[in-house]
A and B are shown apart, each in its own frame.
Chain A
Amino acid sequence: MTNDIDDDSVTRALRRGLSIGPARADAAALPLEGAQALALAGYLDGSLTPAERSAVEAELLLAGGHLELLLASRDALAADPAGPLPSAAVLQRAQALIPNIRPAARRRGVAGWLRDSFARPLRPALGAAALALYGLFCLQVFDWGLAGGEILTAATATAADTASAETVFALALDDLM
Chain B
Amino acid sequence: MGAGSDRELADLLGGDKAAWDAFVRAQAPVIFAAVRRRLLPAGRDADCEDVVQEVFVKLCRGDFRLLRAFDPAKAKLSTYLTVIASSSAIDHLRRLKAPTETLEAQPEGTLAVPPQEPSFLTIPEGLLSPRQALVIELLYRQDLLPGEAAEIIGVDPQTVRSMHHKALTKLRKHFAENSHDGEG
Contact = CB atoms under 8 A, between A and B. Distances in A.
A109 interface: no
Contact of A98 (B20, B68, B153): B20
* Chain A interface bracket (under 10, 10 to 19, 20 to 34, 35 or more): 35 or more
B123 A40 contact: no
A71 B87 CA distance: 11
A127 interface: no
B150 interface: no
Interface in B132-161: 133-134, 136-137, 140-142, 151-154
Contact of A90 (B28, B83, B173): B28
A46 B154 contact: yes
What is the interface of chain A mostly: helix, strand, loop, or mixed?
helix
B172 interface: yes
A74 B154 CA distance: 12
B176 A61 contact: no
A2 B177 CA distance: 8
Given A10-B171, A15-B140, A87-B49, A76 B87 contact: no
Given A5-B176, A76-B86, A103 B15 contact: yes
Contacts of A121: none
Interface of B: 10-11, 14-21, 24-25, 28-29, 31-34, 36-38, 48-49, 52-53, 56-57, 60, 65-66, 68-71, 73-76, 78-80, 82-87, 89-91, 94, 117, 119-126, 128, 130-131, 133-134, 136-137, 140-142, 151-154, 168, 171-173, 175-177, 179-180
Top 4 A-B pairs ranked by shortest CB distance? A34-B69, A21-B125, A105-B16, A41-B75
Interface of A: 1-7, 9-22, 27, 30-35, 37-42, 44-48, 53-54, 57-58, 60-61, 65, 67-77, 79, 81, 83-87, 89-91, 93-95, 97-100, 102-106
